[in-house]
Amino acid sequence: MDDLDIKKKLEENCKDDKNLAKFLKELFSYELEGTRHNYKKDYDKMIEKYSNSGD
């Protein structure tokens, strides 16, 4: 199962929540990159971004 398959799976499980799907795909890409300096800070940024654009 490659990265695209997993992203697709994540998207499918988000059903119609496009914001959530984008958020999860971004998180997955971040983890895939494997260069994690300060995940708390990076996660904060991503959560901040997608929690504001979800409504």
How big is the site for another protein, counted in residues (CB under 8 A)?
27
Does 18 engage in binding with another protein (CB under 8 A)?
no
- Rounded to the nearest 10°, the torsion over CA 13, 19, 23, 29 is 80
**26: nearest Cα among 2, 47, 9:** 47
Contact 1, 28 (CB under 8 A): no
Of 23, 37, 38, 45, the residue at the interface with another protein (CB under 8 A) is 23
Please give the residue ranges that form the binding site for another protein (CB under 8 A): 1-3, 6, 9-10, 13-14, 17, 20, 23-24, 27-28, 31-32, 34, 39-40, 43-44, 47-48, 50-52, 54
